Chain A
């Protein structure tokens, strides 16, 4: 016989929609969560609200004309997108890049990594409840990087700076001194974040041990970037499959041990330090020369295919291009790290509470422009 008390505590799972327009979803993203009380039983990511059909649009454009499209994938790391696409086209067409251009590209990619990680960490802390204060600190530093980008290409978000065979214009004279000034200041700022946050009791309580992604699961779900490394896999394409001139620089690959939200946050902080190391070496080694090799206006790669990839701030960013010998790519596929990193999200969230779901989602650092394409 059922007593009144048993009826009173009987619960049923119910479905709650997070988003698509919700402050914690970093864009237009919907989490279809099934809750048992406050605990998440199942979660299904729903996206596509920002799908612009970039892969199809690119098939109608010339190889050079696709570069502005790549800006609009991960718009928080446009330089990395430009870089990855140019790598793929150069691989497809067998184009050499002058040494100075390689250095410029590496400098831009590493600055971009710092800028992207700053937003990732700031938004993550926002999600943790450290509302607005940390992100304002981080935007303050990102602003200096955007000033540097502004100096080289006149843009602050969608740069369209790299070209097949090099970059669109040489860096101005005042760039390297400005970069060196930034490199002198930045370590102090990272120290400041650490002083405020590294052992912050609230952050530790909210993020440590939350949203664990095991090493096996991370590999099996094709996670990449800081998400994979926080789970203890030492895999960085800059080291594993060096592209451009990354074999010339000394840097470490920070990894986590637990694979929780806190580890993902720490890995990003440490990666910023490593990026600064690379930048210092690059700023010291860069020498005068050509910034672009002689490439025809309309690139016509021979029929074939190529997969060019690099370590973007969010993970393995690759472009799979198929050429039929014409001036436009026959197939233009983006291996988007943020999209694939979402695969394990539902497993990471299961069993955690609603408030933790926000943090877990924030810790994997996604950009909807890249997820939807």
Chain B
């Protein structure tokens, strides 16, 4: 059975290395600061004992006040999982760092979030629309689109 790691424990571990990286500890997820996202992800992937080598999925949600991106990680070695979130408060020009360099699996998924929610992933090598055509106006998965 995949054990969901307790966010509280991970937060404590992260606090030693990256103070101020964690904004909030949810019941089953951690809310991170966008600036420290990449460093935390790299740490989660490489540090022994955690070994989050597999990115299950990335997706975005529009909550009106902010746009949220959700990362679901799994360690195939230890069979445990963790959910991480980051928020973007700027609706006009939302931007987040791309995790493409850490998990290639984020490639199409980040492009899809960019396409449908309009979040720009900085550092993604070919961030273009993926399911809609170039020149499409608006971001359909945003709540104010329709």
- Chain A residues within 8 Å of B, Cβ to Cβ: 47-48, 51, 53, 55-56, 217, 219-223, 233, 235, 240-242, 307, 309, 316, 318, 320, 322, 330-331, 333, 335, 339-340, 342-344, 372-373
Contacts and interface: CB of A to CB of B under 8 A. Distances in A.
A151 B103 CA distance: 44
Contacts of A235: 76
A219 B54 CA distance: 6
B1 A333 contact: no
Given A220-B105, A222-B55, A222-B56, 10 more contacts: A48-B130, A219-B54, A233-B76, A240-B79, A307-B72, A320-B72, A322-B61, A339-B108, A343-B107, A372-B131
B2 interface: yes
Q: How large is the interface on B (under 10, 10 to 19, 20 to 34, 35 or more residues)?
A: 20 to 34
B6 to A, nearest CB: 17
Contacts of B146: 56
B144 to A, nearest CB: 13
Interface string B103-116: 11111110000001
Interface in B123-146: 130-133, 140-141, 146
A344 B104 contact: yes
B12 interface: no
Contacts of B17: none
A206 B38 CA distance: 42
Contact of B57 (A223, A340, A373): A340
B25 interface: no
A219 B76 CA distance: 9
B143 to A, nearest CB: 8
B57 A219 contact: no
